[in-house]
Amino acid sequence: MKIGKFDFTTDKTYIVAELSANHNGSLQTALDTIKAAKETGADAIKIQTYRADTITLDCKKDDFMIDGGTLWDGKSLYELYEEAYTPWEWHEELFSYARSLDIDIFSTPFDKSAVDFLEEFNPSAYKIASFEITDYELVEYVASKMKPIIISTGIATYEEIEDVVNICKKIGNKNIILLKCTSAYPAPIELANLKMIPDMAEIFGVISGFSDHTIGSTAPIAAVTLGARVIEKHFILDKAIGGPDSEFSMDKLAFTKMVKDIRDTEKLLGRVDYRLDEKRESQRRFCRSLYVCKDIKKGEVFSQENIKSVRPGYGKHPKYKKDIIGTMATKDYTLGDRVE
């Protein structure tokens, strides 16, 4: 599978900087954030495509008011999305600018009209947000565009994950990525359940990754060690900007460090290969081998007293010691000679 220029046959992790509401209503801030994301080493910038009236109703009945200890308690859903949305008239410039910087760009659509709109820009992928995973009609419509589809599973049941995977596959789109996600903002680390990342990949036969709402970079790095091929993290130019998502977003300095740490983690993980590389082969000179530890005359018997397994490793392998003990020397040896 490929997303843009990124090829998932490599060992690298696809790192996505989530712009979300972190433009704080300013097109210039959005553009500056895209540039900063490129400078961090991120592979992609992701935006969101909706209007308040495509995602909820302008209603202040209890059902539509936010509560429960979130960052947005007291607001209506409509008020939050009015504040957070990315104006559609910005999209052309955002896509064009990102591509001019050679950073991938795609979006999360929240209804069919957003998908139709985004198709004008030929995005490299689509993202299904956690709270939209239950909208099977939307999932099917996005999958029908036959682009890679990244699906966050934050609030989904096992059956719902199974359903959306089957919806995508039935329509012929097998380019599916499932992201483990905890839909809490910010998310406590004890709710991350990162062991689900390899489990989802195995059970559903897809690529898996991690959409992170925790504070810091410990969780993304741990996710990579467990096989996450995609890391998505909210990104903000500067936390001083404020805004709905600023508290659980990572600034440029921290994001840059996270990218470096992930790249270092990839190197640390390496691959399964029992062959010795040139460096490791050269280091074998410091391992143990058999040496004469007491002068031996020709015809004398090798014994525990006159040969020993010591460093360096130029002599015979220690595994042959038992075979050599009790045999006769065919020449004279002095202390420090290799047993060969």
Q: Give the count of domains, the chain.
A: 2
Residue 26 lies in a domain: yes
Whether pLDDT at 70 is above 80: no
- 163 and 249 together in one domain: yes
188-238 per-position pLDDT tens digit: 999 999 999 999 999 999 999 999 999 999 999 999 999 999 999 999 999
Question: How high is the pLDDT of residue 80?
Answer: 87
| pLDDT of amino acid 139 | 98
245, part of any domain: yes
The pLDDT of residue 306 is above 80: yes
In-domain check, residue 90: yes
Write out pLDDT tens, residues 120-130: 999 999 999 99
Q: What is the pLDDT of residues 81-103, one digit of tens each?
A: 888 899 999 999 999 999 999 99
The residue-averaged pLDDT of 16-39 equals 96
Beta-bridge partner residues of 49: 109
Q: Which pLDDT does position 131 carry in this prediction?
A: 93
**Host domain of residue 311:** 279-324
Q: Are residues 167 and 214 part of one domain?
A: yes
- Least confident range of 29-38, 162-171, 268-277: 268-277
Q: How confident is the model at residue 301 (pLDDT cuts 50, 70, 90)?
A: very high
- How high is the pLDDT of residue 192? 95
**Other Cβ atoms within 10 Å of 229 Cβ, number:** 23
Whether pLDDT at 140 is above 90: yes
DSSP label of 312: S
Q: How many CB atoms lie within 10 A of CB 319?
A: 9
Residues 312 and 248 in one domain: no
Of the pLDDT bands very low, low, confident and very high (cuts 50, 70, 90), residue 279 is: confident
Domain boundary among 205, 236, 269: 269
The answer to whether 178 and 200 are in contact (CB under 8 A) is yes
Does residue 71 register a pLDDT over 80?
no
Same domain, 142 and 224: yes
Domain shared by 241 and 124, yes or no: yes
Q: Quick one: pLDDT at residue 277?
A: 87
Integer angstrom CA distances of residue 142 from 95, 97, 116, 133, 274:
19, 24, 9, 11, 43
Residues 6+ apart with CB under 8 A from 5: 104
What's residue 280's pLDDT?
A: 87
Q: Are residues 116 and 242 in the same domain?
A: yes
CA 40, distance to chain mean position in Å, is 15
In percent, how much of the chain has pLDDT > 90? 86
* pLDDT bracket for residue 149 (50, 70, 90): very high
Statement to judge: residues 191 and 318 lie in one domain:
no
Distances (CA, A) of 39 to 106, 134, 206, 333: 18, 35, 30, 64
Residues 311 and 260 in one domain: no
Q: Could you tell me the pLDDT band of residue 136, with boundaries at 50, 70 and 90?
A: very high
Residue 60 has pLDDT above 80, yes or no: yes
Q: What is the mean pLDDT of residues 311-318?
A: 96
